[in-house]
Amino acid sequence: MNVLSGETSGLDREVRFGDVRYDFHVRSGSGAWHDLRTRLAALDADRFVVVADSGLPDHVVAETELAVAEIAPTQVLTVTADERAKSLSALDQLAEQAIRSGITRRSVVIALGGGLVGNVAGLLAALVFRGIRLVHMPTTLLGMSDSVLSLKQAVNSRLGKNHLGTFHAPVLVWNHLDFLDSLPAAETRSALCEMIKNVLGIVPERYDQVAGLLRADGRYTPAVLTSFIDLCVDAKTAVMREDQREKGDALVLEYGHTVGHAAELLTEGRLRHGFAIGLGMLVAARVSRELGLLDRADEAAHHRLLELNGAPTTLPDELDADALLASVRLDNKRGYVPGRAGTCDLILLEGLGRPHRPGGSQITQVAEDTVRTGIESVLAARPAPELVGA
């Protein structure tokens, strides 16, 4: 971590995935805007298109537009941060507006919002003129610590999450911790479920450190948030360094996502992404124990971190095993290994930090009855209302 002098302090990293490199910065305080303008000016863009979450506070969008417009003409387009709006039709409307605004191959798309907006803006940048430059300015902790640490850009089909997409690298990620001030604590707790995934699946040696820092109220100092983001950079670059398309070692990043994505989709986003992934990890941990891969202590380690984080440990009662299994059957990880009738493809652990690799692949084909057992183990009760929805 590089702590800078003066009012603006934070983190400077170079993210490296294969032959892709991009700068990653964390800042806080009003002086951060000068730093942003300097970095944007270096891009020599003829125009910026800011794709912003329509639910952001007005001052966040206004401050960003003011800073960016000092560098080049700027157009702000809005996206509703709703899973139902994460679609090709919404993308088509954005592309039309961007092209009409005068965007060229020298222009830059800026994603201003959480992971959903980042995905939509990222896919827009990847497709317009077969690819123009992308800058991520995440406004959520989930965006800062997880989604911008990936090259994947995607939208949903009518049948499932992230079915339609490609890979497109940003040229810059600029994180302003002040953006987090207006977020509810539940949003922070949700985001940290993805960090917990990294601890359980990749860096278990950080388990005790993280356990000592997690707070159920979701309130942290900028220094602690920066340390969490730094951990996530370490974890994700460790498995993606030689696997930038996330098909080999980096598949562990999908731990908990199979059932988690199904739960998120079926609740139409009312169950926050991170909470859904946390619940998906509990299902995966129970499945792993049923298969003799994890012991009871390892499964309990999952529950402990989620509970310290104030995250739910039971699925919403609007969900049932049949609906979740039906959605899991359409998961976007199908096809890494030849399909087998009556099974689901899951990422499992055989110990903390040790992905299970049957036949050398991280995909385990699990009988649907065993997956059902895992789901039913997390269907005991309804989580507290503040843990679900926006």
Q: How many CB atoms lie within 10 A of CB 234?
A: 14
The number of residues making up the chain comes to 390
Let me know if 242 is a catalytic residue.
no
* Beta carbons within 8 Å of 381's beta carbon, 6+ residues apart: 314, 317
Q: How many CB atoms lie within 10 A of CB 360?
A: 7
The distance of Cα 367 from the centroid of its chain, to the nearest Å, equals: 28
Q: Of 254, 264, 299, 333, which is the active-site residue? A: 254
Contact by Cβ (8 Å): 325, 344? yes
Is the torsion defined by CA of 238, 244, 247, 253 positive or negative? positive
- Distance CA(272)–CA(276), nearest Å, equals 6
Contact by Cβ (8 Å): 150, 232? no
- Helix, coil or strand: residue 16: strand
- Distance CA(148)–CA(230), nearest Å, equals 13
Let me know if 205 is a catalytic residue.
no
Q: How many CB atoms lie within 10 A of CB 17?
A: 23
Residue whose C-alpha is closest to residue 251's, from 295, 194, 201: 201
The distance of Cα 138 from the centroid of its chain, to the nearest Å, equals: 11
**Tokens encoding 14:** 């170079």
Catalytic residue numbers read 152, 254
